[in-house]
Structure 1
């Protein structure tokens, strides 16, 4: 079973962290959602934070099975999904496999596109490097792409979070991530509302990708967060939370 935080009561929102983070990246949202009358569930994915590590390769389908097991154990039949980066891709995978359990999707700083042959090779090479060298060098290399250099206080929180990620777990997740499908077809077929959020300075998933993602959703809305890079929920929590609040309050009532 995954390690998780569970706060509040009411309709459930599942918060899915990205790579190489853990559930603590959702602290501003874990504080917000109970005040809005929602139940916030934030797990550590397999291989991250305090959850079990499976070395080698962890396919996306395994992460989804873990999340379904958690929701079943918590007696949550349907849920609003909110994910950032890899977490956003897992939200799209969850929706692709279990659309009947999804009430809405929040996709932050993520891409629906599969890897190209070159990017797949690069992701596998990065996973191999994490196995060999651990997390610290990678964390140092990418911290100011994850977080805008204009937000050093957020970087001071995110850097140790990344460096503390279990290297074997992060590497296994990246190998599984390299084989993800194209999510544009399932997004175009979505029957639930979607919110797409992106930091204006995000180099990993730039604004045009976020706009394409929002346009693919039949009922999609895009919010661009100025002054943020890849982690707007931490860099500009007041803006992210306002967009999240508007989205959640606009959803049809849970059945």
Structure 2
């Protein structure tokens, strides 16, 4: 089962999903503010994935190594198993893509979707230029094989470039680094290859995307693409922020989430 931490006893349910290479500890700077308005469920992505053994059936409670589609399906099942019956799902980076996958699979369980520095199609395509450079993504995949820990630290530095609070955010992100084994990190990174634009386009739940003004991994120009893809999506841009806008200005971030959530009917 996934590791879960519940904070608070009252208020609307809010599920928090962290990004690749990180852990639920990354949310610490915003928990005090968010817990004033929500009952929080923090979920840690797995630190180890079990290999698929031959043709044996996969139990719904297990997590397996396999294709990105297979792993996403298994993760969604496990996330739903530990989540509240109905909640707003807020995901950062990879967590935003998983939250979108949850909403696609079980829209009746999702009151609203918040993607933070997240992209329904993370890697550039001919018809989707506002995404992560293909070559840069390939470099990360290759580097993970040779030195996972060094690659994680390099990823932290990329995430804070352009932020007005780089030094503080480096320390916060380093403190929240994932303890997952290298193979698990590779499997989770592979999920970013999925194209989930159609899922976002057809999703029938309220959506908010929060982007960092100076993000090198999820460019702020994505805002126009999101609105074209789904005209009713709300997009907020955090000034002075890079890939972790919730760390740059935690109180502003929390207030924006709270204000948006007040519009949602559970």
- TM bucket (normalised to shorter chain) is 0.7 to 0.9
RMSD: 2.5
Asked whether 1:82 is paired with 2:97, we answer no
Partner residue of 1:126?
A: 140
1:61 aligns with 2:76: no
2:55 corresponding residue in structure 1 = none
5 Å matches for 1:156-235? 156-162=171-177, 164-178=179-193, 180-181=194-195, 183-235=196-248
The aligned residue for residue 30 of structure 1 is 31
**Residue range with higher mean Cα deviation, 142-151 or 204-213:** 142-151
Partners in 1 of 2:227 and 2:252 — Cα distance?
18
> Which has the larger share of helix?
1
**How many residues of Structure 1 are paired with residues of Structure 2 in the alignment?**
241
Please report how far the alpha carbon of residue 201 of structure 1 lies from its aligned counterpart in structure 2 after TM superposition. Answer: 0.5
The one-character-per-residue Cα deviations of 1:45-89 (angstroms, maximum 9, x if unpaired) are 123xxxx44465462212211101112xxxx22111101111111
Offset of residue 105 of structure 1 = 0.7
Please give the alpha-carbon distance, in whole angstroms, between the structure 2 residues aligned to 1:163 and 1:108. 19
CA contact (8 A) 2:121 2:192 kept: no
- Which of 106, 125, 130 matches 1:98? 106
TM-aligned CA distance change 1:242 to 1:211, over 3 Å: farther
Following superposition, the deviation at residue 177 of structure 1 comes to 3.4
Relative to 1, partners in 2 of residues 1:243 and 1:209: Cα closer, same or farther, differing over 3 Å?
Answer: same
Question: SS state of the match for residue 40, structure 2?
Answer: strand
Q: Which residue of 2 aligns with 1:239?
A: 252
Contact 1:196 1:221 in 2 (8 A): yes
1:145 and 1:229 in contact (8 A); partners too: no
Cα distance in 2 for partners of 1:194, 1:176 equals 21
Q: Among residues 77, 82, 86, which one is paired with 1:70 in the alignment?
A: 82
Summarize the Cα distance change of 1:44–1:202 in structure 2 as closer, same or farther, 3 Å threshold: same
Q: Deviations over 1:102-137 (max 9, x none)?
A: 1101111111126468967865663453243122x2
In structure 1, distance between residues paired with 2:148 and 2:109: 37
Q: TM-score, normalised by structure 1?
A: 0.83
Partners of 2:191 and 2:134 lie apart in 1 by 10
Q: Distance in 1 between matches of 2:135 and 2:73?
A: 21
Q: 1:207 aligns to what SS in structure 2?
A: coil
